[in-house]
Amino acid sequence: MSSFILNLIKGILMGAANVIPGVSGGTVAFITGIYEKLIESLNAIDLKAIKLFFTGKWRSLAAKINLTFLSTLFLGILVATFSLAKLIEYLLTNYEIEIWSFFFGLIIASSIIIIKQITNWKPITVFFLIAGIGIAYAITSLSLIRTPDTLPYLFMSGAIAIVTMILPGVSGSFMLVILDKYSYVIGMVTSITDGIKPLIQSLMAGEFSGVRTALESMQIIPLLVFMAGTIIGLLLFAKVLNWLYKNYKNVLIAFLTGFLIGSLNKVWPWKETLEWYTDKQNELQPLIQKNILPPEIDLKFLIAIGLAVSGFLIVYLVERFATPKSH
């Protein structure tokens, strides 16, 4: 099998992991043995690389940043993202408690696995663990109030979410959950996949009104802004985050673990909606919610618990396979 196909498959696996909150694309990179190569390739995108780009030295640029590897990997990530977005949107709409229970189990397992990476407990490590819990709880409590769908906020969300991709154990999708933009971004992606077929049909039939309708249904501009945020965030913050990971690993991991633990209230499956709002499609959406206990122990509750356990076991087993290559 050619290296192109292998890297494409690895990218698809990373993309699938990043679509699901609680599963880390960085962990998948560990499992498939490309983590160090990915970090080295991303860190090679610097001022020298930009100079090579603007001076037209394409071959030198491609060799410096390992362009073939990166482009194939990110192609796989995009394929997985667009392929799975429709399924995730359907599940969130029709099986909300079940899918969030699954995600809850994923994130609990991720928290346990990440905290085990701390090799030296000091007072400052404990401080950052507690700080992470407190900050995340405060943020996710505030985010129960609707966050804006503005382009600047989408840009910022993309920048924050993509950075977590290079840290094993932390999911970019989970960061979108915290920022209250997970469902919105999934919706943007599905609007593109849903609009492609009618767009092509209208173009082939020469029906320009149909082309306009299809384009209006596709959230192209917001998605491009979000993707621009991911690119800028990766280029600006990847080096800083990688430096922190190498030089202050225990403190960083403690903070990230606390952040995961404190954010679990955002992912709690059972909620009561206190206020609603009408979105751009004139559909009612929850505005302010509070966590509640399961109303009754029925079949739906047992299925939710089973899915939470399944999510926990999936992350646990994935990490078991990743362990030999992560040390």
| Mean pLDDT, contiguous 10-residue spans, the chain (327 residues) | 81 82 70 76 84 89 90 90 84 88 87 85 94 84 68 90 69 78 87 89 86 86 92 79 81 85 84 74 70 89 95 82 52
Tell me what pLDDT residue 276 has: 75
Please check whether residue 192 is in contact with residue 227, taking contact to mean a CB–CB distance below 8 angstroms: no
In a domain? residue 326: no
In a domain? residue 78: yes
Phi-psi category of residue 12: left, alpha or beta, with phi > 0 → left and psi -120 to 50 → alpha: alpha
In a domain? residue 327: no
Q: Is the pTM of this model over 0.75?
A: no
Closest by CA position to 92, among listed 184, 228, 209? 184
Alpha helices in the chain (DSSP H): 3-19, 25-31, 35-43, 47-54, 58-65, 67-94, 96-115, 123-142, 151-163, 172-178, 182-205, 208-217, 220-247, 249-262, 264-267, 299-322
In a domain? residue 175: yes
Task: Tell me the residue range of the domain where 95 lies.
Answer: 3-321
Distance (Å, whole) CA 123 – CA 34:
34
In a domain? residue 183: yes
In a domain? residue 230: yes
Q: Which residues contact 206 (CB under 8 A, 6 or more apart)?
A: none
Our count of domains for the chain comes to 1
Residue 163 buriedness (CB in 10 A; 0-12 / 13-18 / 19+) = buried
125, 126, 131, 134: CA torsion to nearest 10: 150
In a domain? residue 151: yes
In a domain? residue 303: yes
Residue 286 buriedness (CB in 10 A; 0-12 / 13-18 / 19+) = middle
